[in-house]
């Protein structure tokens, strides 16, 4: 068994160093906290958002402490935070502490916090009073009906109801809870209640403007529809002469000198399909749906990278096995459902990748490599930091690999895109094509 993985840095590090401006702006239309969940469950949670919260679910809760059960009337115009927790489960107990601090911090803003304990252990669980001046209600989900109604299959989970009584954010990631609360309390009740209509109107206006601009701008049409063009591949010497980024230290090399490594990506099991690689650099990151740290923040950053470097870069999420990610797995303590989730087959792994793509509508590609061959060709380390990526030049050699949140990751990507001979050759072919076809389009316009 490979040694356990190192902890990864907070979201702010990953986005600040790797994705730059990837974090969404806090506006009514663009603020979007990190969420948990994937596949069909995440799709169902997404469908629940921005709709009136089902207060009938609260009737399933009992043994209220620090006050009586909240209602739609008692919380009208307020922001409500629901958190499911189990005092005996350490991650969930930490989530309860997050909720306590939120209750105290946002008491002046009228935040209502409802902490919902699992039926197991409720009798002996501590039931602290609400922080001074705050509303923090405690209760138990005796039959699990509240959790079932909100698709909460494992504590802890956070849900936020806005001032207009809408379930605004379902199953928010722990690290996004505070920011999500701050956004919702800064929003008026009227702004919350009219959000869906305002965004629908804005989207309609955007499409009309896009159609108008597209009809007038043939040059943009050329760029959007740019085909794969032939170009002369650079000589091997051009790659040897390029000023590549410094390679990371190879701890398994006795000389302590790392060397570029040839990387072969799988030929099959791509989602949605294998992208064109000629004349492009590649970033691969390694993930598994059973290891949250491998994908929860990385996939958002990966999509930003793909959009930022559409023509020059191909970003690939390599779904690999748990051991290759340095994850110790104690199957003896797992339920059958948990085992099924972690013990993926190539077929079920491919379906998982499809589920992630369908639910989150990613722009970057994914490929299944359950043998871990790609990761093993990148590094022989016994333990890797998550999320973990490799930057590969257009000739298929890894030019840098390591923790995605390190400053070196972004620097390595920028350097490879700058000096890669294959990228430069492809760019030149595209520039010549655009120049020739733009001249034809301009000539055609003058004749009209």
Sign of CA dihedral 208, 213, 218, 220: negative
Strand partners, 137: 114
DSSP output for 129-172: PPPTT-EEEEEEETTSHHHHHTT--SS-EEEEE-TTSEEEEEEE
Give the global pTM: 0.55
**pLDDT of 295:** 92
Joined tokens for residue 332 = 């003896």
Based on its alpha-carbon atoms, the radius of gyration of the chain, rounded to whole angstroms, reads 25
Q: Cite the beta strand spans of 153-234 per DSSP E.
A: 157-161, 166-172
Which tokens hold the place of 329?
């797995």
pLDDT at 73: 96
No. of helices (H) and no. of strands (E), the chain: 15, 14
Helix/strand/coil for 372: coil
Of 9-18, 151-160, 171-180, 205-214, the poorest mean pLDDT is in: 9-18
Q: What is the pLDDT of residue 287?
A: 95
pLDDT tens by residue, 30-85? 578 889 888 899 999 999 999 999 999 999 999 999 999 999 999 999 999 999 99
Q: How confident is the model at residue 424 (pLDDT cuts 50, 70, 90)?
A: very high
User: Cα separation of 82 and 357, whole Å?
Assistant: 28
Q: What is the DSSP letter of 362?
A: -
What domains are defined for the chain?
Answer: 29-186 (3.40.30.10), 243-419 (3.40.30.10)
Q: Say if residue 294 is exposed, middle or buried (CB neighbours under 10 Å; 0-12, 13-18, 19+).
A: buried
Q: How far is CA 112 from CA 38, 79, 152, 161, in A?
A: 28, 6, 20, 10
151: left (phi over 0), alpha (psi -120 to 50) or beta: left
CA distance 123 to 192: 38
- Dist. CA 49–CA 179, nearest whole Å: 17
Question: pLDDT of 105-162, one tens digit each?
Answer: 999 999 999 999 999 999 999 999 999 999 999 999 999 999 999 999 889 999 999 9
Q: What's the pLDDT at 54?
A: 96
């Amino acid at each position: 068994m490979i040694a356990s993985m190192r902890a990864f840095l907070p979201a702010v590090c990953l986005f600040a160093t790797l994705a730059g401006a990837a974090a969404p702006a806090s506006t009514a239309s663009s603020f979007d906290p990190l969420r948990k969940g994937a596949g069909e469950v995440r799709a169902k949670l997404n469908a629940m958002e921005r709709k009136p919260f089902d207060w009938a679910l609260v009737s399933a809760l009992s043994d209220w402490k620090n006050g009586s059960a909240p209602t739609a009337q008692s919380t009208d115009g307020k922001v409500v935070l629901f958190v499911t927790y189990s005092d005996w489960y350490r991650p969930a107990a930490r989530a309860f502490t997050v909720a306590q601090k939120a209750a105290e911090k946002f008491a002046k803003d009228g935040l209502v916090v409802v902490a919902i304990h699992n039926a197991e252990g409720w009798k002996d669980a501590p039931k602290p009073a609400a922080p001074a001046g705050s509303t923090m209600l405690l209760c138990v989900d005796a039959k699990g009906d509240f959790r079932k109604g909100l698709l909460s299959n494992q504590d802890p989970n956070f849900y936020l109801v806005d001032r207009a009584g809408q379930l605004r954010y379902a199953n928010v990631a722990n690290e996004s809870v505070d920011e999500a609360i701050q956004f919702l309390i800064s929003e008026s009740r009227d702004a919350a209640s009219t959000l869906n209509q305002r965004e629908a109107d804005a989207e309609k206006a955007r499409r009309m403007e896009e159609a108008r601009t597209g009809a007038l701008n043939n040059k943009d049409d050329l760029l959007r529809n740019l085909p794969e063009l032939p170009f002369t591949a650079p000589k091997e010497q051009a790659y040897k002469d390029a000023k590549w980024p410094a390679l990371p230290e190879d701890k398994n090399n006795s000389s302590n000198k790392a060397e570029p490594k040839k990387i072969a990506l799988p030929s099959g099991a791509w989602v949605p399909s294998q992208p064109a690689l000629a004349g492009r650099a590649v970033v691969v990151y390694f993930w598994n749906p059973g290891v949250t740290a491998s994908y929860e923040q990385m996939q958002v950053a990966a999509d930003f990278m793909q959009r930022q470097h559409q023509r020059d870069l191909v970003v690939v999420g390599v779904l690999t096995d748990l051991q290759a990610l340095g994850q110790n797995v104690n199957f003896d303590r797992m339920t059958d459902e948990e085992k099924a989730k972690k013990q993926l087959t190539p077929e079920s792994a491919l379906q998982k990748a499809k589920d992630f793509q369908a639910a989150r509508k990613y722009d970057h590609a994914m490929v299944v490599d359950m043998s871990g061959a790609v990761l093993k060709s990148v590094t022989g380390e016994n333990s890797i930091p998550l999320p973990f990526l490799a930057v590969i030049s257009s000739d298929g050699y890894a030019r840098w690999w390591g923790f995605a949140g390190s400053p070196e990751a972004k620097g390595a990507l920028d350097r490879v895109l700058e000096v890669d001979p294959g990228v430069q050759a492809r760019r030149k072919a595209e520039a010549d094509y655009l120049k020739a076809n733009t001249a034809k389009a301009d000539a055609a316009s003058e004749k009209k």
